[in-house]
Chain A
Amino acid sequence: MSTEVRDFKIPVGEARPGSEQPVRRVKARKLLEKETVTVALKQALVMLRPDLQWNNPVMFVVLVGAVLTLLYIVEAALGGSTSQVSISYFIALDVWLFLTVIFANFATALAEARGKAQAESLKKARHDTVAYRLTAKGAVEEVSSADLKQGDRVVVKAGQAIPGDGEIIEGIASVDESAITGESAPVIREAGGDRSGVTGGTVVLSDRIVVEITSSAGESFLDRMIALVEGAIRQRSPNEIALTLVLSAFTLVFLIVVIPLLPMARNAELYMQSYLGVSEPVKSLGTDVPTLIALIVCLIPTTIGALLAAIGIAGMDRALQANIIAKSGKAVELAGDIDVVLLDKTGTITIGNRNATTFLPVGKYSASDVGRLAALASAADATPEGKSIVQLFEKDSHAPVDVSPEAKFIPFTAQTRMSGIDLPDGKQIRKGAPDAIIKFIGGNGGNVPTELSSLVTSVASQGATPLAVADGPNIAGLVVLEDILKPHMAERFERLRKMGLRTVMITGDNPLTAATIAKRAGVDDFLAEATPETKLAYIKKEQMGGKLVAMMGDGTNDAPALAQADVALAMNAGTQAAKEAANMVDLDSDPTKLIEVVEVGKQLLVTRGALTTFSVANDVAKYFAIIPALFAGTLPWLKVIDVMHLHSPTSAILSCVIFNALIIPALIPVALKGVRYRPLGADALLLRNMLIWGLGGVLLPFIGIKLIDVVMTALHLAS
């Protein structure tokens, strides 16, 4: 018998429909929408104002260079120039310098515009509504939602919009939250427990609830979200600030590299003059100021300088598209650094309740007997467990439960710890905890089968819960209730593991059950018999070891742990306390979202690193084009290092500047969508990205610059 028990397979439970919210991108939009592009283009020109451009030091240098070149052109047009190259070259150069700045501003403006477009669509949900406020005497008065204060109680009936953020204190209702989540399936919100939070702007579809308003008008989540998206440009994360400093330093470095080239080129001119033995001075592009400005612009990290702000805004935007409101950009970035993730078992790893999975008979009973008896005992049981027993029986026997109308149902009480049915023939069928059932049949003069206790232990040791079924004075067998894992969780944990994160399951179960479920789900560790205090202690312990901890929660008792965690994601359906303690709120109330937040955070950093590496690596090719061009007039034998065989010195320099400008819009999609993060492990990922963005960054410009040169020559634009 025992071998049979060991053999019984724990079926992979199917999630109930609707319980697993698919990862969706309801608001995923096309990259470029006509409206946003128009807005962004206008904004790109506005941002040329020096005081605004100053926010981006790299592009500010480009702007200064472009203006200086403009002055030079004016001087040349007035006949003050002694350069040997035509003025059309300078004009072309200057146009592309200005375009470089405008492309950069466009990238930032586009990211902002997309964010704002999202904010606008959210604002539409926030129109003023009529609220029905309960007065102190219990009467209902009509007020505008704009006049609601924190602590007001309002009544919302079916068909009405909820006037503000709050918590249900009375009643249960199905709510349409599509205005904020984009998900059309209604959700159930009820007083008490952890699904009592409602958001202003959502619509009650059925029933009547009383809501206590938790934030005054103008301070709701929607308001904060809009403010956040609109303000994204102004708050930079620590990593972005550090990178800005590095880019400024690189800009300075290349100024230092290029400025001495002017006297060095003068040295070469003097040499060539004496070599030729001519009296008139020899001139080269190396002493030509606009050309040196072009060289500076090509060398300073304009690509990443142009896209840096856009990357940050787009990161926030991606989080928002996943229906997560981060209270700051820093929180999103921090999510990429998380070492440990604490996940609630119920609702995250398993679907909410236990389901019956197997009927185990004892003695003379068969499995189908146990199923029939258990189903009879559960016929009137409205709990999810009871329903699942009936469902399992009906599935196994392909027949409905046949209950006589005269049968009497015995409900569950805390005293008896069992429920069941008294059939008209007087037979008492009960199901309940094994010890309760043993006590029950003992009272009826029945015997306990010898194998029962070993069977109970065996089921419990596998992390399942046994319910015993009594058929009058006999025990028919056990119903095995199991936690049903959500589908694909093991793969998600494997993904997290590859990302370098450790997953910890939090559960109120005993350690034995917890260990079994942890093993089945594939989490790295578990915290059994968890209380708010033990959760807090666990987080503190991990943080002492230098780790960053992420946690999700929805209940008020999660609040201290959420406040302690480095990244805390609260469910929008959760209590206000939990939402306040967290630094991110998930509008979908989907606990597996944390994985996506981590990915968004990592993507943000990968994108920054990739584009910076690319930007710096690009310079190698530019040297090979520009250096021989600078000295074509003085050290003509340097033509051998012009490996791209460009048409002429001026076309070489123009090609570089054009490539440098065009690469910015070409990479806007990368900046906005982010470089894909792959959980390959740090080493493999680094190698991969270094090959693509580092080596690729070295090689690509050779091709690009040559192509531009060929096109210009073909169009007779190059002199």
Chain B
Amino acid sequence: MTFIQVWLLPIALLVTSTVVAFPLSRYMAWIMDGKYRPPGVFRWFEQRLDSGGQNWKQYLFSLLTFNTLMFVFGFLVLALQPYTPLNPRGLTMLAPSTILSSVVSFMTNTDLQHYSGDQHLSNFSQIFFGIFNLFLSAAIGLAALTAIIRALRSDSSVGNFFVDIWRVLVYMFVPAALIFGLIFITQGSPMTFQTSHDVTTVEAGAMGTTDTGEAKTQTVIVGPVAAFESMKMLGTNGGGFYGMNSAHPFENPTGLSNFFNTLAMMVFPFALVFMFGRMLNRFRHSLVIFVVMFIMMAGTIGWSVYFDTLKPNPGLTGQAVEQKFEVPSAASPGGKLTVSMPAVASLPVEQHQGNLEGKEMRFGVSAGATFDALTTDVTCGAVNAEEDSLNPVAALAPLAGMWLNCVYGGKGVGMINMLTFIIVGIFIAGMMVGRTPEYLGKKIGAREVTFAMIAILVHPVLILLPTGLFAATSWGLAAISNPGAHGFTQILYQFSSATANNGSAFDGLGVTYGFWNAASPGPSAVAFDIAAALSMLFGRFLPIVAPMAMAASLGAKKSSPFGLGTLRDDSVTFGFLLFGTVIIIAGLLFLPVAVLGPVAEHFGPMPFGG
């Protein structure tokens, strides 16, 4: 493999997203600041929509009420699937717990799917549950960030929730989705109200034969895939039309579509950071934040590509020498047991292109590893390669993206999460300049730092507690597909993905119940449905509510001018401070589970050896 083959894709993606972010952020700030003049019909509607400026509590109330309505609507659409049109296959209702987890999942921009879109949803559900939420949930996060920015700059009101949603949808998402949707159509993505085609396979009998000996036809599911796909990526939603997600040839047909697929999830998160700076009139500050995020993103991509594309699959290379360890024996105090990691012969597999298991080679050698790291950094959750098949340590990259949850992050919320790290970092380390810590000239007091800590605290609570609970009980042990560290990682990944509102899955975990009348549902699917729904709900709204209160409290303070003794928020030193804060805090929270999962698997015995 040449350098170009491996690194061209990630570099091209990072450079393109960065270049696009400059003008796009200017446009977004212009829209969100309401400086545009809406075209005729829109103006009339916008004036009706604008119920006036809201304070932060009213804004939050609108946001939460709106989400409640989305929840009810989504639940009804899925529950009524047997009775709604566009369902020629006659799909029945999903299990209630699966409906709960799916509705919460799409409402919270998570899109963790305990179902398979092509098998379980009709086109009506795909449109009115799926696409509906893909647009709205992303808009809500962006609106929340805008309100927080307005609170920080001490505006008289934090804006109007409904107008903000409208602006995001109409002036940002719809045009962008049209552009990307058309690109996907040119590459071969279906865009139709048809549901399925029964086709004869090229190789006769590839799908098996009927009792009478005739070759079975293959049922190919189609639908409004291009529309679904563009917003799935642009809104960093990640929930696929097909269970295979972006690895499916209709969602992501070609290498070129893969480039745009990946780019689509990056453009808005990148631009949002600059939008933050432009709206606060502190562009240089946002540039420092951008660089810190960029370095972390480059780090996760580099890590996953290095350990997955440039390293062979350790399960195939084997282990030359037996290794022995002594562990204390519980049966005889002071006694020792010997644990052996036996020698395993390598398999005769050509591995010079790295770990190929679970990869779509039409995208290129490093596309899977790049996509897997990116998808959690920007909290998208789409996948174009099997995460479960990543080399053990390579899986640390997508996990880290969810644990940090601020490497650009999802629509708006990534930047909001970064804001809480900024506040805590400035509060602790910023004292070392010898002044009461200030952010944007406002003194950080007990109230602000408490809200910031709550927002940070929510994350480990919702990831670690359920992971511990499921890891030690039959709920988790019955669902995992591998014993030991790999199975642990599957559970850990599930709750990391739910809490970070990411939605990607470390497959292999039996979480699918399927239809309500399913013959053999996943043994602990109900427990996973409910636990994941709770993680997603609290993981979504507490990190919006607490920072909003924090920003409002900070914005209400008097601003003091910048002086020589003031901590600069646009310097390289500040970049170090921020980087250190994020890495150390997140590191301290998740290092133990990182070790128990991917690291233990990496150093542990060959999966086929024991």
* Residues in chain A within 8 A of chain B (CB atoms): 82, 84-85, 238-239, 241-243, 245-246, 249-250, 252-254, 256-257, 259-264, 266-268, 270-272, 274-276, 278, 280-284, 299, 333, 336-337, 339, 497-502, 545-548, 601-603, 605-606, 608-610, 612-613, 616-617, 619-620, 623, 627, 631-641, 677, 681-683, 685-687, 689-690, 693-694, 698
Among B330, B449, B610: residue with most chain A CB under 10 A: B330
With most chain B CB atoms within 10 A of its CB, the pick from A252, A266, A499, A686 is A686
Question: Across the two chains, which residue of chain B brings its CB closest to A279?
Answer: B331
Whether B483 contacts A274 by the Cβ 8 Å rule is yes
0/1 string, B562-573, CB within 8 A of A gives 1:
011111100101
Decide: A547 and B465 in contact? CB cutoff 8 A: no
**17 A-B pairs (CB sep. < 8 Å):** A246-B450, A252-B457, A253-B589, A261-B468, A263-B472, A264-B467, A266-B471, A276-B337, A280-B329, A337-B443, A339-B561, A499-B564, A605-B431, A605-B435, A637-B323, A639-B325, A687-B576
In the complex where A261-B592, A634-B327 touch, is A608 in contact with B433 (Cβ < 8 A)? no
Please report the C-alpha to C-alpha distance between residue A283 and residue B335 in the assembled complex, in whole angstroms: 12
Q: Give Cα A501 to B485, complex, Å.
A: 57
Cβ of B589 to closest chain A Cβ, rounded Å: 6
Q: Do residues A685 and B449 form an inter-chain contact, with CB atoms below 8 A?
A: no
Cβ-neighbour of A272 out of B339, B461, B565 (below 8 A): B339
- B484 adjacent to A275 (CB under 8 Å): yes
CB nearest to A267 among chain B residues: B471
Q: Which B residues, 561 to 594, have Cβ-Cβ distances below 8 Å to chain A?
A: 561, 563-568, 571, 573, 576-577, 580, 584-585, 587-589, 591-593
A residues less than 8 Å from B428 (CB atoms): 246, 609, 612-613, 616
Q: Is the CB of A242 within 8 A of B449?
A: yes
Q: Which residues of B contact A268 (CB under 8 A)?
A: 484, 488, 596, 600
Query: What residue in chain A is nearest B467 (Cβ atoms)?
Result: A260
> Is B518 interfacial (CB 8 A cutoff)?
no
Q: Which of B483, B564, B593 has the most CB of A within 10 A?
A: B564
Task: Mark interface residues in B439-455 (1 if CB within 8 Å of A CB, else 0).
Answer: 00101111001100110
- Contact flag A337-B464 (CB < 8 Å), given A245-B450, A620-B588: no
A-B CB proximity, top 9 nearest: A500-B565, A609-B431, A260-B468, A602-B434, A263-B472, A636-B325, A249-B453, A500-B564, A242-B446
Determine the distance from Cα of A627 to Cα of B590 in the docked complex, in whole angstroms.
12
Q: Which residue of A lies closest to B446 (CB)?
A: A242
Judge whether B567 and A257 touch: CB under 8 Å: no
Tell me whether A690 and B432 are in contact (CB under 8 A).
yes
Q: What is the distance, in angstroms, from A27's C-beta to the closest C-beta of chain B?
A: 24
Contact B431 A608 (CB under 8 A): yes
Interface centre among B433, B436, B460, by most chain A C-beta atoms within 10 angstroms, is B433
Chain A residues with CB under 8 A of B471: 263-264, 266-267
Chain A residues whose CB sits within 8 angstroms of the CB of B337 once the complex forms = 276, 278, 282
Nearest CB on B from A171, distance (A): 45
CB distance from A242 to the nearest CB of B (A): 4
Contacts of A501 in B (CB 8 A): 563, 565
| Residue from A245, A613, A636, A689 within 8 A of B446 (CB atoms) | A245
- A606 near B432 with CB under 8 A, answer yes
| B341, CB-defined interface residue at 8 Å | yes
CA–CA, A718 and B444, complex, Å: 46
Q: Is B604 an interface residue (CB 8 A)?
A: yes
The reply to whether A546 and B576 form a contact with Cβ atoms under 8 Å apart is no
A255 → B minimal CB distance (Å): 10
Contact residues in B for A617 (Cβ distance below 8 Å):
584
Tell me the complex Cα distance, A681–B434, Å: 10
Contact assessment for B563 and A264 in the assembled complex, using a CB-CB cutoff below 8 Å: no
Asked if B35 is at the interface (CB within 8 A of a chain A CB), the reply is no
Q: Inside 8 A of B435's CB, which chain A residues have their CB?
A: 336-337, 500, 602, 605, 682
Does B37 count as interface, using CB distance less than 8 angstroms?
no
* Cβ contact within 8 Å between B592 and A686: no
Q: Which residue of B lies closest to A612 (CB)?
A: B428
Q: Please, how many angstroms separate the alpha-carbon atoms of A497 and B484 in the complex? A: 61
Contact of B600 among A250, A638, A682 (CB under 8 A): A638
Report chain A residues within 8 Å CB of B449: 242, 245-246
SS of A interface (majority)? helix
Q: Is the CB of A637 within 8 A of B327?
A: no
Tell whether B427 is near chain A: CB-to-CB under 8 Å: yes
User: Is A613 within 8 A of B429, CB to CB?
Assistant: yes
* Cβ of B514 to closest chain A Cβ, rounded Å: 27
Give the most central of B445, B457, B596: most A CB within 10 Å.
B596
Q: Which of A82, A243, A262, A620 contacts B584 (CB 8 A)?
A: A620
**CB <8 Å contact, A336 and B434:** yes
Q: Which residue of B lies closest to A253 (CB)?
A: B457
A284 to B330, CA, bound (A): 9
Q: Which residue of A lies closest to B457 (CB)?
A: A253
Q: How far is the CA of A665 from the CA of B473 in the complex (A)?
A: 43
Of all chain A residues, which has the CB nearest B563? Answer: A500
Using CB atoms, name the residue of chain B closest to A240. Answer: B446
Which residues, 170 to 201 on B, are CB-close (under 8 Å) to A?
none
Question: Judging by beta carbons under 8 Å apart, are A612 and B431 in contact?
Answer: yes
Question: Does the CB pair B453–A686 fall under 8 Å?
Answer: no
Once bound together, how far apart are the Cα atoms of A88 and B594, in whole Å?
32
Q: Is the CB of A686 within 8 A of B573?
A: yes
Contact partner of B603 (CB less than 8 A), chosen from A272, A632, A640, is A640
- A637 with B600: in contact, given A547-B561, A682-B567 (CB under 8 Å)? yes
Q: Does B591 contact A623, Cβ atoms closer than 8 Å?
A: yes
Closest CB of chain B to A492's CB: distance in Å?
Answer: 16
From 363 to 404 in chain B, residues with beta carbon under 8 angstroms from any chain A beta carbon are none
Task: Assess whether A245 is in contact with B453, with CB atoms less than 8 Å apart.
Answer: yes
Contact between B464 and A257, CB atoms less than 8 A apart? yes
Set A245, A333, A694: member contacting B580, Cβ < 8 A: A694
Interface residue ranges of B207-243 to A (CB < 8 Å): none
Beta-carbon contact of A264 and B472 below 8 Å:
yes
Q: Is B12 an interface residue (CB 8 A)?
A: no
A272–B326 Cα distance when bound, in Å, is 12
A487 to chain B, nearest CB (A): 25
Tell me if B409 is interfacial: C-beta within 8 Å of chain A: no
Which residue of B329, B560, B576 contacts A547 across the interface (Cβ within 8 Å)?
B560
Once the chains bind, are B457 and A336 in contact (CB under 8 Å)? no
Q: Is the CB of B431 within 8 A of A606?
A: yes
Query: A84: which of B323, B333, B576, B592 is its contact (CB, 8 Å)?
Result: B333
CA A637 – CA B595 in complex, angstroms?
11
Q: Taking the nearest CB of chain A, how far is it from the CB of B550, in angstroms?
A: 13
How many Å lie between the Cα of A488 and that of B434 in the bound state? 24
Task: Say yes or no: A548-B560 contact (C-beta < 8 A), given A84-B330, A638-B603, A686-B577.
Answer: yes
Chain B residue nearest to A610 (CB atoms) is B432
- Would A337 and B436 count as touching, CB distance under 8 A? yes
Bound Cα distance from A307 to B571, whole angstroms: 31
Residue of A nearest to B428 (CB): A612
- How many Å lie between the Cα of A257 and that of B610 in the bound state? 31
| B507: min CB distance to chain A, Å | 20
Nearest opposing residue in chain A for B610, CB measure = A275
Asked if residues A637 and B467 are in contact (CB atoms below 8 Å), the reply is no
When chains A and B are docked, how far (Å) is the Cα of A264 from the Cα of B488? 8
Q: Closest B-chain residue to A615, C-beta based? A: B428
Q: Does B299 belong to the interface (CB within 8 Å)?
A: no
Contact partners of A337 in chain B: CB under 8 A: 435-436, 443
Residues of A contacting B560 in the complex (Cβ-Cβ under 8 angstroms): 339, 546-548
Say yes or no: A609 contacts B339, CB within 8 Å. Answer: no
User: Does B424 reach chain A (CB closer than 8 Å)?
Assistant: yes
A281 contacts B588, C-beta separation under 8 Å? no
**Extra 16 A-B pairs, beta carbons < 8 Å, given A268-B600, A683-B571, A685-B432:** A85-B328, A239-B431, A249-B450, A263-B469, A281-B330, A283-B328, A299-B588, A333-B436, A337-B443, A339-B565, A605-B434, A610-B431, A610-B432, A634-B327, A682-B433, A682-B564
Please name the residue on chain B nearest to A281 by beta carbon: B330
B436 near A283 with CB under 8 A, answer no
| Among A242, A246, A497, residue most surrounded by chain B Cβ atoms (within 10 Å) | A242
The CB with the most chain A CB atoms within 10 A, among B476, B588, B610, is that of B588
**B325 and A260 within 8 A (CB):** no
Q: Does B21 contact A (CB under 8 A)?
A: no
